[in-house]
Each structure stands twice: as C-alpha cells, then as structure tokens.
C-alpha cells in the first residue's frame, strides 16, 4: 500500500518535473493546435475537395485532377490570373514609392509632424468597406467630386470604376491610399535604426544630399523596403474588399481578380470542388511570389553587407 502510494507520489513528482522542464510546450502547443484547427485542417480539406467533382446540392464524385485541368484551360481563369498580377504589380510599386517618400518626409523634424503622421496613418486602419462607400460617391461620373476637381485643373472627366480601361488603375489608387502608410511605417522604422556615423562620414567625404540618399540611405534601407514589398505583394494579390464593394469584378469582368473569381464560383455558383482547385492554384501562386521576393531580397543583400 505504502509502496504503491510512494510509487504514485514519485510518479506525480516526476510528471511535475516533466511539466516544469517542458513548460514551453504548454505555452506553444495549444496555439499551434488552434491554428491548425482553424487554418491547417480546412486547407487539407480544401485539397481533398479539389479532387472531387462537387457542386452544392449534389453528391461529391472523385474526379482526380479534373478541376485543375478545367481551371487551367478556362480563358476566364487565365485572364483573372493575368489581371491579378497586373493589379498586384501596380499595387506594390506605387505604395512602395510613395511610402518611401512619406518615410523620408516623416523622418525629418518639422512642426506638426506628430499630428500629421497620425492623420497619415489613419487610412491604413480605416474600415475599407466604409471608405469604399465614400469612394463610390466620389467616382460618380456626373455628380462625383473627383471629376469636378479634375475639371478645376483643366483635365477631362474620367469614368473611374465604370470603364474597363480605367477600373484597375482606379482600384489601385484606392488600395494605394489605404496601404501607403503601412509601407511608410516599415521604412520609417528602418530609417530610425540607421547608424548616424555613416552619414557623418559621407558628409565629411563631401557627399551632397542626393548622393547620400543614393549611396548610403537607399542601400541600408533596402532590406526594409523588401520586407514591405513582400508583405504588400501578399496583400495585393489577396485584395478583395474594395474591389468587391466598388465593382464586384466588373464592368464586364474588367476587374475580376482571382479572389473575385473564386468568390463568385464558390458562393454564387456553388461550385465547391472547382473553386477548391482554384484556391490551391491561388495558394501556389502566393507561395511562389513570396519565395521569389525572398530570393530577390537575398540576392540584393550581398552588395551592401
């Protein structure tokens, strides 16, 4: 009896010691399990569904790679892919350039900097759907304020989101307005971390402002710019809210990016199997784009370090 009691007690103590030594697992495992349940499991399930011929209201039937073959051979899908890339390139490059300018401006000391910087950040946090309502009204072809402002500076009115040729640049403009602060903040953090003595050395060597920017600031900022571009690329490829609210992919599919294409096929046409296959292709595209940017970052880094 006592032996058993002792045994049990030592077992419990051993268990307690085990818990102490592996305490980190208690902190890390539950969140990992939660994330797996919320993201990993649905992802695996998506892979499974992508191999089924399955629309809502019918029973799933195994079709192998049939959905993938169908997607790749669909002109509408291929056009959506190209459109997404076009949109993403613009929606990465423009906010990055403006964000760099913004960071250089807000790194200076000037009166009212704090307040202006706070106001500058607000679009990044503001609810995209709510602001899309305002953009919608501003884009109105005859009564909208934007065309009035254009007429003030003598420019012809634009059809903004109502024409196939201007819809993507217009959506990029809205996305730029929302996301330039994000790029600005990352680059500003990079600027704050720059070593001061390098600039002093450059000044002693007689470098003027543009030379200092070109040969000192920019190379040192490059890693931060690349991080901003990586995260921006992921978000731009996945853009949904503003596009859906303002155009629902129109006019005549001129702004139908992969995410919009997916949304329609999954939740309007209820083609579960097919849209799962498109999701998998979309995921591959996202991973590929990220890896490309990470590689690019590594290959540019050696020149400066």
Partner 1 sequence: MAVLLDSARLVVQAGRGQSQKAVLLRKLAGKVTFGALVLVLMAPTLFIFFWMVSLSLKNQLDNTAYPPVFLPRRFELENYVQVFRQNPFLRYTINSIIVATGSTALSLLFGAPAAYGIAKWKHHRISLLILVARLVPGMSYLIPWFIMVRTFGLSGSHLALILTHTVVGMPVVVWILISFFEDVHPELEEAALVDGCGPFGSFFRIALPLTLPGLAVSGILAFIFSWNNFMFSVVLAGPYTRTLPVAAFNMLSFESVNWGPLAAAALVITLPVLVLTLFVQRYLVAGLGAGGVKG
Half-sphere exposure of 18 (CA within 13 A, CB side): 6
Cα–Cα distances in angstroms (integers) from residue 238 to residues 34, 40, 84, 87, 273, in the given order: 23, 18, 9, 10, 20
Distance between CA atoms of residues 99 and 118, nearest Å = 14
**Minimum distance from residue 163 beta carbon to partner 1 (Å):** 18
Distance between CA atoms of residues 258 and 78, nearest Å = 9
Distance between CA atoms of residues 209 and 104, nearest Å = 12
**Minimum distance from residue 75 beta carbon to partner 1 (Å):** 21
Please say which residue, 5 or 156, places its beta carbon nearer to partner 1: 156
**Minimum distance from residue 1 beta carbon to partner 1 (Å):** 30
Please say which residue, 3 or 183, places its beta carbon nearer to partner 1: 183
**Minimum distance from residue 148 beta carbon to partner 1 (Å):** 5
Please say which residue, 167 or 186, places its beta carbon nearer to partner 1: 186
Q: Which residue has the tokens 């990029």?
A: 172
Task: State the DSSP string of 96-109.
Answer: HHHHHHHHHHHTS-
8 Å CB contact between 249 and 260 = yes
**Minimum distance from residue 64 beta carbon to partner 1 (Å):** 19
Other C-beta atoms within 10 Å of 179: how many? Answer: 25
Please say which residue, 4 or 230, places its beta carbon nearer to partner 1: 230
Please say which residue, 6 or 42, places its beta carbon nearer to partner 1: 42
């Amino acid at each position: 009896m006592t032996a058993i009691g002792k045994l049990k007690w030592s077992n419990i103590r051993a268990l307690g010691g085990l818990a102490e030594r592996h305490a980190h697992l208690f902190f890390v495992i539950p969140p990992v399990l939660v994330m797996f349940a919320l993201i990993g499991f649905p992802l695996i399930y998506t892979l499974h569904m992508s191999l089924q011929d399955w629309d809502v209201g019918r029973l799933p039937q195994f079709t192998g790679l049939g959905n993938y073959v169908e997607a790749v051979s669909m002109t509408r899908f291929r056009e959506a892919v190209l459109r997404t890339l076009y949109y993403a390139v613009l929606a990465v490059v423009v906010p990055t350039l403006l964000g760099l300018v913004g960071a250089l401006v807000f790194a200076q000391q000037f009166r009212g900097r704090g307040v202006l910087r706070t106001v500058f950040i607000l679009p990044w946090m503001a609810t995209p759907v709510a602001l899309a309502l305002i953009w919608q009204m501003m884009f109105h072809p005859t009564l909208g304020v934007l065309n009035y402002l254009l007429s003030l500076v003598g420019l012809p009115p634009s059809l903004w989101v109502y024409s196939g040729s201007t819809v993507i640049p217009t959506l990029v403009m809205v996305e730029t307005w929302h996301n330039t602060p994000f790029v600005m903040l990352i680059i500003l953090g990079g600027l704050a971390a720059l070593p001061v003595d390098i600039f002093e050395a450059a000044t002693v060597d007689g470098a003027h402002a543009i030379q200092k920017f070109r040969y000192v600031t920019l190379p040192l900022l490059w890693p931060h710019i690349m991080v901003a571009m990586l995260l921006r690329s992921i978000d731009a490829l996945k853009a949904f809210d503003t596009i859906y609210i303002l155009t629902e992919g129109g006019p005549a599919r001129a702004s139908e990016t992969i995410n919009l294409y997916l949304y329609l096929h999954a939740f309007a046409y209820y083609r579960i199997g097919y849209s799962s296959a498109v999701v998998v292709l979309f995921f591959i595209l996202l991973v590929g784009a990220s890896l490309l940017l990470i590689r690019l970052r590594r290959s540019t880094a050696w020149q400066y370090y």
